[in-house]
Amino acid sequence: MYSSMMLNQLVQSDYEKVRRQAIVRRVLSFVLRRPNQLISLNALLEHCDVVNQHSLGVQSVPIKQIIGTHSRGKEFDSVFLPNQTHTASRWTSVMKASYRGISLPPIVLVKVNEYYFVVDGHHRISVGRAVGQTYIDAEVTEMELREKSLRDVEVN
């Protein structure tokens, strides 16, 4: 086990590393003119109607298939690296739990087709990716969507 001071230094170093990676990715996405943000579930729902929605319960979900967010698109980039420094405290507390082997509750996801959008658990996904985790436990709700027709779209 780690001493408290050593653990604090270790997770602070881990956080600084992922923040540097986030900055490099942001610069590269700007230079290469490629998107680097999470896909917004809310934006998707503006163009689609929910046809059906039901719980799939708790499942082990491949982290690679988590591509979007319900509400925190500016705080994390497309691979869940933290974009903003105010995430540091929560991120490091989740990383400490990871080092200590503390089990955290499942994250909450919405599944659309084969992809997932985060409702709750952004920091747990970010830390999971940082430590090389490939699957994460999640409470999953599946949504079936239908693209809105032109007559359904309100004209302004």
140: three-class secondary structure by DSSP: strand
Residues 107, 112, 114, 116, CA torsion sign: negative
In sequence order, the 6+-apart residues with CB closer than 8 A to the CB of 142 are 53, 54, 55, 56, 110, 111, 112
| CA–CA dist 31, 59 (Å, integer) | 38
Mean pLDDT of the chain: 91
| CA–CA dist 134, 107 (Å, integer) | 14
Alpha-helix runs per DSSP H in the chain: 4-32, 41-47, 88-100, 122-130
37: three-class secondary structure by DSSP: strand
| CA–CA dist 73, 71 (Å, integer) | 6
User: How does pLDDT run across 40-74, given as a tens digit for each residue?
Assistant: 999 899 999 999 999 999 999 999 999 999 987 78
User: How does pLDDT run across 65-113, given as a tens digit for each residue?
Assistant: 999 999 877 899 999 999 988 889 999 999 999 999 999 999 999 999 9
* Predicted TM-score of the model (pTM): 0.87
- Average the pLDDT over each of 41-55, 112-126, 140-154 and give the range with the smallest value: 140-154
Of 120, 124, 17, the closest CA to residue 63 belongs to 124
